[in-house]
A and B are shown apart, each in its own frame.
Chain A
């Protein structure tokens, strides 16, 4: 029996790609295991095989093998591949972003998300076991008619993250050129993550409350390139000279940003899990977020959870409180560090393996 994984697209820094890599190292302890992807960037070429190669594998008894499908978006080719393969299918549902926020920015991408949900519903009977990283995502699958859905949190290894060396150039820049407190957001620049909401809150913060605060938005803009350009225009027109949209970064650079930050903040409307929350906990940062989708479940009492409908001004006020009130700050830091213990990577790995072995 062999267990392989299939991704629609693989790119460095992407949460589902990271999850697949993490899982592969577990699976390779048992037997041969590869990652196949329909699309991948140059950086992943050494790790990932093209999906077409899967068919050329020789397996004596494919119906005994398992394909783990990481579902993030629709893709007709991957869908028909999965539908027609004889292997048993385990679905790892990373949650699909809602298509609506993308419609005006990237209609093609919105179409893929829309299609993805349809495909997900159609694959229901092909899937032996469905895993979701959060209760929120699991409920979504149940509502699509899936029978066996289990919550299996993503493996985030805080110790490994903390042991990652900083990028010297980035650290040097942050230490010498960036003065004042730093509020950090980590996540792809996508409409449903609401970076423009965060920028509006930040505008209120630096204009009316604390002018010396910096905002660093770390994350690639793989889809919806126009969205990124509009955000940059927004930053320029609001004259937010201390806001920085970094674009894609390496893991070392990411660690530099986490080490320099005074606060982690997200205004996101939709998260299937939100790995950066756990990463921020790994660095003991105070966290501010809005109670949307999987965020309350992952953040728990580990941060300052604002109501789902919190306004930009409330977010600004919360940032000001964390940056100026030492009591609030130290309380949130203690909560953040305490909450981290809920994400034991070994426990997460064990849960994952246990679920997979059930199928095997």
Chain B
């Protein structure tokens, strides 16, 4: 073995560098002051506590006892003196019975002590065995679970990937179904609902009903014809509309309009903060649930005496279905006046009236026959009945007072 112990310069330099690092860290306060002394004292503190031996140590003691608690009556007889061995042997023979008797007692005592200690150790060990067995069982379970997770990452990743793919497909399909016309809503309204002027004329009477009901919220205000009428009358009014193009057009007219979902906007208002709420040609675009929600919100947001005007297509007129209703692809369900009346009454509105509006032109209705006589009367009665059924007013306005 080469006993050269001189460290090479590179190791010396490294040691010096490490020492400098330790000093630097100490000075920078990276180590708490007195760390080493504290660790040293900590160790001494633990050492000064009495430590209870564990069962393994007790086994070691028992093991040692096994080896040492064996007494024999062998007495060495060899001797360096002439005749010494003979003398020892003779003494042995004299003493052997007594010696063996005493040793027998000592041995029995030692055996008893050993048995007692072994029992104590076994008793000590027993509960710890239970705990140990329990823990091992639990750890095994944990490992099993872990292993099953580890085994299946491929499967679950694939399953999640598959689900995600299907969700994406469904979303894409749903998106393809969503109505998003390339034509402007303003153009559509002008074509099918009428010009701005026509609409102003049509809704003037409704606006007048709200002369004392400010502030009014026009839910689904479209191009803002009603808002305009209300403003002209000096009624405080604002609109909410979900279509950005329409909102822009309305705002251009200098009217107060918010781009939002109407129900969301309404539910954000303070309770009893409205004097009037109008929904012109709106509820036939909503789902049944949205309609009931809307009515209860209206009850919350209107102050006592406040008015709601709901104008919508009249499903009692079959003419409507041949003309206006299906001309708008975004209409979902017409709302029956009897049902709407019921809703508002149930929501606690004191007065609910229906105003029948826009009857079809008389020129479109069935003609009556001229002349008297029983046949003529029957025919004309039938024509009237058919006219009522087929050519009822195209719209109705429900006016409810809180």
Contact = CB atoms under 8 A, between A and B. Distances in A.
A86 B40 CA distance: 50
Interface stretch (A66-74, A163-171, A224-232): A224-232
Contact of B18 (A200, A234, A321): A321
Contact of B31 (A234, A296, A307, A313): A313
A contact patch SS: helix
A318 B36 contact: no
Contacts of A343: 1
Most buried by A among B6, B15, B18, B35: B18
Contacts of B4: 300-301
Contacts of A297: 1, 3, 5
B89 interface: no
Interface in B1-46: 1-8, 10-11, 14-15, 18-19, 21-22, 25-26, 30-31, 35-36, 39-40, 42-43, 46
A310 to B, nearest CB: 8
A196 interface: yes
Given A200-B36, A312-B39, A304 B51 contact: no
A342 interface: yes
Given A234-B42, A313-B31, A317-B22, A153 B1 contact: yes
A296 B5 contact: yes
Interface in B295-318: none
A153 B15 CA distance: 28
B77 to A, nearest CB: 14
Interface in A287-343: 296-301, 304-307, 311-314, 317-318, 321, 328, 331, 342-343
B40 A301 contact: no
B364 interface: no
Nearest to A104: B47
B46 A304 contact: no
A328 B57 CA distance: 43
Nearest to B45: A237
B51 to A, nearest CB: 4
B175 interface: no
Contacts of B8: 301
Contacts of A301: 4, 6-8, 11
A229 B43 contact: no
Interface in A159-205: 196, 200, 203-204
A229 B5 contact: no
Nearest to B8: A301
Contacts, number: 92
B35 A313 contact: yes
B54 interface: yes
B154 interface: no
Contacts of A230: 43, 46-47, 51
A255 interface: no
Interface in A120-140: 134-135
A321 B30 CA distance: 17
Given A230-B46, A237-B46, A321 B1 contact: no
Nearest to B31: A208
A186 to B, nearest CB: 20
A314 B25 contact: no
B8 to A, nearest CB: 5
B14 A204 contact: no
Given A208-B25, A297-B5, A313-B22, A229 B14 contact: no
B254 interface: no
Nearest to A196: B43
Contacts of A238: 39, 42
B329 interface: no
A300 B43 CA distance: 32
B136 to A, nearest CB: 15
B53 interface: yes
A297 B57 CA distance: 37
A317 B30 contact: no
Contacts of B26: 313
A229 B3 contact: no
Given A200-B39, A233-B49, A296-B7, 19 more contacts: A153-B1, A200-B40, A200-B43, A225-B53, A229-B53, A230-B47, A297-B3, A297-B5, A298-B1, A299-B5, A300-B2, A300-B3, A300-B5, A305-B11, A313-B36, A317-B21, A317-B22, A317-B25, A343-B1
Interface of A: 104, 134-135, 151, 153, 196, 200, 203-204, 208, 225-226, 229-230, 233-234, 237-238, 296-301, 304-307, 311-314, 317-318, 321, 328, 331, 342-343, 348
Interface of B: 1-8, 10-11, 14-15, 18-19, 21-22, 25-26, 30-31, 35-36, 39-40, 42-43, 46-47, 49, 51, 53-54, 57, 60
20 contacts: A104-B47, A135-B3, A151-B1, A200-B36, A200-B39, A200-B43, A230-B51, A233-B51, A234-B46, A237-B42, A296-B7, A301-B8, A304-B15, A306-B18, A311-B22, A311-B36, A312-B39, A313-B22, A313-B25, A313-B35
